[in-house]
Homo-oligomer: A and B are copies of this chain.
Amino acid sequence: MPVYQAPVQDTLFVLNDVLGWQRHDNLSGFSDAAPDVVEAILNEAGRFASDVFLPLNQVGDREGCRRAEDGSVATPTGFREAYGRFREAGWGSLSADSAYGGQGLPHTLAAAVNEFLSSANMAFAMYPGLTRGAIAAIESHGSPEQKALYLPKMVDGVWTGTMNLTEPHAGTDLGLLRTKAVPQGDGTYAITGQKIFISAGEHDLSENIVHLVLARIEGAPEGVKGISLFIVPKFVPDAAGNAGARNAVSCGSLEEKMGIHGNATCVMNYDGATGWLIGEADKGLRAMFTMMNEARLGVGVQGLAISEIAYQNAVAYARDRLQGRALSGTKHGTKAADPIIVHPDVRRMLMTIRAINEAGRALILWTALQGDLSHRSPDDKAREGGDDWMGLLTPVIKGVLTDKGFENAVLAQQVYGGHGYVAEWGMEQFVRDARIAQIYEGANGIQALDLVGRKLALNNGRAIQAFFKEVGAFCEEHRADEAMAPFTKTLKKGLNDLQAATLWLMGNAMGKPDNAGAASNDYMHLFGLVALGYMWGRMAKIAQAKLAAGANGDTSFLENKLVTARFFMERLMPETSAHLARISTGADTMMALDADAF
């Protein structure tokens, strides 16, 4: 069975040293999260992940969820009990508003905990993850009555939530959706239609399931301008606010899929189910995007999470597996062979994963902090800056960290050789689970288009200009520092490539949008490398400063950071040139073939 130990030390390094956690203790929630409290929470969350979530990960994969004739869905053995412990421990309500029973802690902290839980059992962590997204939508767009009725139960976890967007013919293009909502004259709507790919759509973990459903009110305009968002509870709350009468919504079938078997992916049938409009009529997409942004960052976390647990197991195997001798001469002469961690190509795989994970963790927490600032800072500029950063980096984190997360799971599996292909070792499950993160909540191609087609131009490019300025200033600040040169020089080169790519887009994509589409994937990954490189630059600087100041006892952790930072600059950053070269070729060749010539 795979092992897992939450990367608490690394997370604390990011929170305390990279983010300067204590600098923010004037903000709501942060004042309750002094460093010792944060450390205790992370340690406890790590233990919970390893002790409660991890042992169910392979069980969930093997058993999957089961739908009975009556449409009810049973989660795998142990999930119910574990979910009860999860609720009791309050892991789902860490950053929820205290007005609804939450603990009001920073979202940044919740993101860190979410990484641990998703590493240990991604399919399981999705149940509360989707609930958090639904909470966010109701909190932002619901009426006071809706909030009062649903949020306390959902924050507690006794009710869970889902997002119902996709229909068989309408995935990325939600304008095509057909599910209809007919006003009943009593303020409610009768919802009718079919939704597919609904994660956690039906299960036995909670007393009620609160479906947030996109539908079209009868007579509404076609396309995306006629879509509204509805709350459709599985059980209609009774007068006392408890789960009451069964609503006309049911799970028609479960999808058989590549991975995340522990999560129930449902076809949901709405047969005149009673729904309540949330937010304004025909403005459902806006409300849905509140959920989506939350969810997209969460999916980026999943990419990191799988990459981290896959890494840890690949390391354990590489230390343990004896095979061949080191190229540089026998290292363990008393053993029949050397452990494979002596081989450079095994190192290459491990170092690659490590370099992405540590920077990815920093980038996620950095971005989550910007999100907290955007909501909680008393300073207008800080709120605006935080919001800009969040908007700009969300597609990058979702797209890049899930692409890399999958690639890293594949690399970690490769370390195992043939054993990686065999189910019992658990590595192939990581690959199968990681794969979905590149697809759902907007396939990564959509993330790239969101970045290139929307986020770059927003507010006249305010966010991207701020990003260039911030990273550029960091390079400039440490330009004369010889110890920092290996990092800032490469980072600056990457930044130049990104700026050149941005200029190219400005010059070539306005009049010819296909040039933007043809560039989008490379641009997103180029951006990701610069953003991760920036994190490495900052981490290297801090490691050097702490070492220079005589870090007590912790020197190897900091020295390892510097090695990994160098590896990132040497081995991963060179890709920025290739991205720029591809971007600059434009769309002509890509679009030249007739559709039927393929």
Contacts and interface: CB of A to CB of B under 8 A. Distances in A.
Interface of A: 166, 169-173, 175-176, 196-197, 255-259, 315, 318-319, 322-324, 327-328, 336-337, 339, 341-351, 354, 406, 410, 413-414, 417-418, 420-424, 428, 431-432, 435-436, 438-440, 443-445, 448-449, 453, 512-514, 516-518, 520-521, 556, 560, 563-564, 566-567, 570-571, 574-575, 577-578, 581-582, 585, 587, 589-598
A576 B260 CA distance: 36
A424 to B, nearest CB: 7
A423 B256 contact: yes
A113 to B, nearest CB: 24
A319 B582 contact: no
B418 A439 contact: yes
Contacts of A420: 439
Contacts of A567: 589-590
A443 B414 contact: yes
Nearest to A256: B423
Contact of A319 (B337, B517, B518, B598): B598
11 contacts: A169-B322, A171-B417, A173-B323, A319-B595, A319-B596, A348-B590, A417-B443, A421-B436, A421-B439, A574-B578, A575-B578
A456 to B, nearest CB: 15
Nearest to A354: B598
Nearest to A316: B598
A528 to B, nearest CB: 15
B418 A587 contact: no
A176 B257 contact: no
A327 B514 contact: yes
A196 B518 CA distance: 46
Given A323-B172, A574-B582, A424 B344 contact: no
A520 B348 CA distance: 10
Contacts of A170: 323
Nearest to A436: B421
A80 to B, nearest CB: 26
Please list the 10 inter-chain residue pairs (A to B) with the smallest Cβ-Cβ separation, ordered nearest first: A344-B517, A327-B513, A574-B581, A258-B428, A570-B585, A344-B518, A345-B445, A173-B323, A256-B423, A315-B598
Contacts of A342: 595
Nearest to A563: B592
A323 to B, nearest CB: 4
A577 B318 CA distance: 30
B438 A345 contact: no
Contacts of A521: 345, 348
A263 B236 CA distance: 50
A345 B449 contact: yes
Given A518-B348, A585-B570, A172 B421 contact: no
A568 to B, nearest CB: 9
Contacts of A575: 578
A585 B512 CA distance: 39
A208 to B, nearest CB: 26
A172, A420, A593 — which one has the most chain B CB atoms within 10 A of its CB? A593
Max count, chain B CB within 10 A of own CB: residue among A339, A517, A567, A590: A590
A591 B326 CA distance: 11
A141 to B, nearest CB: 25
Contacts of A176: 322-323, 336-337
B344 A520 contact: yes
A407 B414 CA distance: 14
A413 B566 CA distance: 34
A453 B443 CA distance: 41
Contacts of A349: 445
Contacts of A431: 258, 435
